[in-house]
Amino acid sequence: KQEVTQIPAALSVPEGENLVLNCSFTDSAIYNLQWFRQDPGKGLTSLLLIQSSQREQTSGRLNASLDKSSGRSTLYIAASQPGDSATYLCAVLNNAGNMLTFGGGTRLMVKP
Amino acid sequence: SQTIHQWPATLVQPVGSPLSLECTVEGTSNPNLYWYRQAAGRGLQLLFYSVGIGQISSEVPQNLSASRPQDRQFILSSKKLLLSDSGFYLCAWSVGTDILATNEKLFFGSGTQLSVL
């Protein structure tokens, strides 16, 4: 059974810092990995999707990497802003069953 | 453009009462539809998914049920709520001929915060 873990569970940084969020998964047989953002009491917004054959994806200040063999992904946020404050979730799409398995999320607070 | 509507945004229900949460998608045809639950401080758990009208697959056995009476409508129901049903319920959709093709993203509604007292 696929298990997805995100560390740290919560993170507080001053504005302007570059930061890295971590995601690990136990079964490397995945189709893709997605990073989502969730604002308090809101739905999820897809940020980046990395195919299993890809190593990274970039969108603006966000860069997500994938090391499938080691079961790890990182989300790099450059020059963080208070508006980046949210919970970030990663999810993997398994080869078997085609279901997404989500991590518990990292709650990010960027202080002005 | 495609949009997804989910309501109500918040709901407080007594134990043993029925439940009906509705989700509709606009701007697309034959979407794959999903119901997820997010318990406090935990990741999302897939409850049900549907690839077409009347086709429902359950991932977790529980006292909840789902129905898809129309192509773009997905309903989550319960006859008698339990305390453990409290949580944040999210509807989502994706487009594709199969559940989540390798390059498909999942789009979420705004969620329903359910408190069972």
DSSP-derived letter for residue A43 is -
pLDDT value, residue A62 = 97
The answer to whether the Cβ–Cβ distance between A31 and B105 falls below 8 Å is no
Which stretches of chain A score pLDDT less than 70? 96-98
Strand B32-38 and strand A100-102: pairing? unpaired
Residue B61 pLDDT level (bands cut at 50, 70, 90): low
Residue B11 pLDDT level (bands cut at 50, 70, 90): very high
Taking one residue from A and the other from B, the number of pairs with CB-CB distance under 8 angstroms is 61
Residue A53 in tokens: 């054959």
Residue B59 in tokens: 């991932």
Query: Considering CB atoms only, which of A42, A51, A103 is closest to B103?
Result: A51
Mean pLDDT of B67-93: 94
Alpha-carbon span A4 to A100, nearest angstrom: 10
DSSP-derived letter for residue B81 is -
Q: Select the residue from B58, B90, B105 to test the A interface by mutation, using most A Cβ atoms within 10 A.
A: B105
Are the beta carbons of B84 and B59 closer than 8 angstroms? no
Q: Answer whether A5 touches B (CB < 8 Å).
A: no
Are the beta carbons of A110 and A13 closer than 8 angstroms? yes
pLDDT digits (tens, 9 = 90+) for B83-104: 999 999 999 998 765 555 555 6
Q: Answer whether B53 touches A (CB < 8 Å).
A: no
